[in-house]
Structure 1
Amino acid sequence: MAQVAEALHNAGPSKDQGLFKYDGEVIWSLSNPASYLPTEAMDHLLRTIRLCAAVPAYAELTAPFGVDVTYGPDTFVIYEAHKGQCNMLFDAPIEPATFSQGDLLVLPCLMRHRITDPSHPPCIDIRELLAKQIEPHLVSHEGQPLLTHLMNQRVNYGGGGDLFGLRMIVMFVDKQTSGALISGLPGPVLLKGFADKHRSFLNAIFDEFEVHRVGHSMTQPVAIRLTEALLTIALKEAAFETESSPIFKGLGDPAVARVIAAVLKEPQRDWELQDLVSIAHVCRSALNSRFSASVGMSPGHFVTHVRLTKASEMLTDTSLSIAAIAERSNYGSEAAFNRAFRKWCGLTPGAVREASSSRS
């Protein structure tokens, strides 16, 4: 052992491979794993996750309750059903879901949702609750924002009946660097039983948040890294969930995952089927059958799905004209874009923009 240590001290990493060697043999346990890990598409996508801020928050809702929530274009959220259960309602065509103790839910940016008890009472806007219960307590006596106060957001609302307890982490992304996996989230990702399965890990994260908050030492790098770890595990598990969204279903198949990663990275590219076949490293018929089996649509339809999802974001998040969005979405004319968009979601681009403006 002493000889090995002396050899490593004298020789260091091999210059040709960047790996430690002893008597010509690579000592894998001391080499950088990035040098020999397989280049799986899912691993590549998970490495692209980048948050610029993360804030824990808590809610205790008692029946009857109903809260209408919409986060901004740079904001998405992880919810943990900590106690009890509720109904999660979404805009069409997304089906409502029962969110029960032990479940985890990841919601993408701009995903409007209503959190209600089974009686479906009228919903209060989350901004009204925050203005009353949270905003007045986020500043010092001098009127300066305090991060430690922000880390202890607690919303209490309802009629005093059955309790639904919610733990959450509100996450913020820079759209330019958020990574394909985050920017490509097509809808809610519900992981049944995830919180029960990873109970010790979740508790450790929220306990760490609390330790730093009480000690007035919480910094965003700490919150961000803790949250990215949780998000990475959640999204990786989502890839193998049979009831997950099209993007995540496909990530369980390496060939399909390579295509998904490429399309998410460059949705505006003029993709031909042969381009996707080359990326998948399988023949055309195999790609079509495997893509349809795991994603539920053909590779061509998936390209359209991703492209029009991005177009929908531009309609709601930017002031670009519909003609400009059509061009950026790789459609030859505004008329062709309008037809494709309406076939995709049942609404015209103009109707989506008008509805977004009305909500704003």
Structure 2
Amino acid sequence: MSVAPKKLSERPAPVEQSAADVLADVLDSMRLTTLMHGGFDLGAPWGLRFPGIEAAHLIVVGQGRARLELDGERTPSTLAAGDLALLPLGGSYSLRDAEGSPLHVLGQGECERNRTVGPIRVGGDGDRTRLVTGSFQFGTTSRAPLFKKLPRVLHVAADDPDAASSLASTVQLLLAESASPRPGTTVIMARLAEILLVQALRTHVEKPGLCSLVDPPIAKALALIHERPAEDWSVERLATAVALSRSGFAARFSTIVGDPPLEYLARWRMTKAAQSLRETALSLGEIARQVGYQSEASFNRAFKRWEGVAPGTYRRERRPRLG
């Protein structure tokens, strides 16, 4: 059961769009594991087929060009030196210097070795291409708020005017580390890759018309939900808070975000509950109240419908083991 509703006349306190960093909230709530495949030194003709793992993928081109082919997509993307591509929804993919070049299928062991011994060399004696790839595994990506509306490829070109000025520097640091492995290189590369992940997502969400975070009323509604998930929000209360009609707000939110408002609210509550179960020692009752449930029993039922297991089981299975 949700927290008792307030009267509609009790309008929520105004929240500035910047008050809740929704993108940071979403990323912080997801368990992130970075898997660096490392660097590749490639001579034309060349092609790479990457193992199909459930993860988001990062590709950074240091020299030359690469043709990115996603399974199920007819039109490839062309990546130039200094570009990065993020595949936030995962999926199998290949990289080649040109259409029809033979593919070298990378095995899992080959990717593991590549993290520590330097670039893998593949291809012929033609034009050189150097690139770095990696993957990110999230605990809740498939159901994470905001991720379902992302495109399959986020391509950030080296000369993209909307990209942060620091992005080029981060790309160069990652390429330099991959070229000359030293003690600590794998840790540094993983951290730099995480920075590039956030920079790529931020470049995308800040483009007008592409994301809910730059639509003022919807951004404000998301900020309210993220700042106060325990509040007994209704569609009408959220609409009033952002100065839209109920029907206009509901339609606009669903179109832009990809979920109806209350479904997004439920999704966010369960995401935050899962994070608390993994990362804190709070009791189930305390977590239930934090995400809008007065009854631990109703929270248990909702969480089990969402995650497939009871909160206590989820906590035992997902908490980091010490020692």
Which residue of structure 1 lines up, in the alignment, with residue 212 of structure 2?
Answer: 250
Which residue of structure 2 lines up, in the alignment, with residue 165 of structure 1?
Answer: 130
Which residue of structure 1 lines up, in the alignment, with residue 290 of structure 2?
Answer: none
Which residue of structure 2 lines up, in the alignment, with residue 68 of structure 1?
Answer: 49
Deviations 1:34-56 (A, max 9, x none): xxx71243343344454234426
Which letter does structure 2 place at the counterpart of 1:203? Q
Q: Does 1:121 align with 2:101?
A: yes
Which residue of structure 1 lines up, in the alignment, with residue 204 of structure 2?
Answer: 238
Please report how far the alpha carbon of residue 105 of structure 1 lies from its aligned counterpart in structure 2 after TM superposition. 0.6
Whether the 8 Å contact between 1:51 and 1:224 is mirrored in structure 2 is no
Secondary structure (helix, strand or coil) at the match of 1:52 reads strand
Q: Does 1:88 align with 2:54?
A: no
Q: Does 1:100 align with 2:66?
A: no
Within a 5 Å distance, the mapping from 1:153-232 to structure 2 comes to: 153-175=118-140, 180=145, 187-193=152-158, 197=165, 198-207=167-176, 213-214=181-182, 216-218=183-185, 220=187, 223-232=189-198
What is the percent sequence identity of the aligned residues?
22
Whether the 8 Å contact between 2:116 and 2:186 is mirrored in structure 1 is no
**Range that drifts further, 110-119 or 185-194:** 185-194
**CA shift in 2, pair 1:169/1:273, >3 Å:** same
Which residue of structure 1 lines up, in the alignment, with residue 294 of structure 2?
Answer: none
Which letter does structure 2 place at the counterpart of 1:113? Y
How far apart, CA to CA, are the structure 1 residues paired with 2:97 and 2:225?
A: 39
**CA shift in 2, pair 1:180/1:80, >3 Å:** same
Count of residues in Structure 1 that have an aligned counterpart in Structure 2: 240
State the superposition RMSD in angstroms. Answer: 4.5
Which letter does structure 1 place at the counterpart of 2:103? C
How far apart, CA to CA, are the structure 2 residues paired with 1:90 and 1:261?
A: 34
Secondary structure (helix, strand or coil) at the match of 2:197 reads helix
TM-score by structure 2 length?
0.56
TM-score by structure 1 length?
0.51
Please report how far the alpha carbon of residue 108 of structure 1 lies from its aligned counterpart in structure 2 after TM superposition. 3.0
Q: Does 1:57 align with 2:38?
A: yes
Whether the 8 Å contact between 1:62 and 1:160 is mirrored in structure 2 is yes
Which letter does structure 2 place at the counterpart of 1:201? T
**Range that drifts further, 158-167 or 194-203:** 194-203
Within a 5 Å distance, the mapping from 1:344-355 to structure 2 comes to: none
How far apart, CA to CA, are the structure 1 residues paired with 2:148 and 2:35?
A: 16
How far apart, CA to CA, are the structure 1 residues paired with 2:73 and 2:111?
A: 32
Greater C-alpha Rg: 1
Whether the 8 Å contact between 1:91 and 1:112 is mirrored in structure 2 is yes
Gaps of 5+ in 1: 1-36, 139-148, 265-270, 308-326, 330-360
Deviations 1:203-256 (A, max 9, x none): 234546778x42x24574x5554433332222111112369xxxx522222433
Whether the 8 Å contact between 1:62 and 1:163 is mirrored in structure 2 is yes
Please report how far the alpha carbon of residue 155 of structure 1 lies from its aligned counterpart in structure 2 after TM superposition. 2.1
**CA shift in 2, pair 1:89/1:207, >3 Å:** closer
**CA shift in 2, pair 1:165/1:208, >3 Å:** closer
**CA shift in 2, pair 1:168/1:259, >3 Å:** farther
**CA shift in 2, pair 1:275/1:83, >3 Å:** farther
**Range that drifts further, 225-234 or 111-120:** 225-234
**CA shift in 2, pair 1:95/1:155, >3 Å:** same
Gaps of 5+ in 2: 1-17, 227-232, 268-303, 307-323
Deviations 1:78-111 (A, max 9, x none): 2112112122112335742112222111113541
**Range that drifts further, 44-53 or 230-239:** 44-53
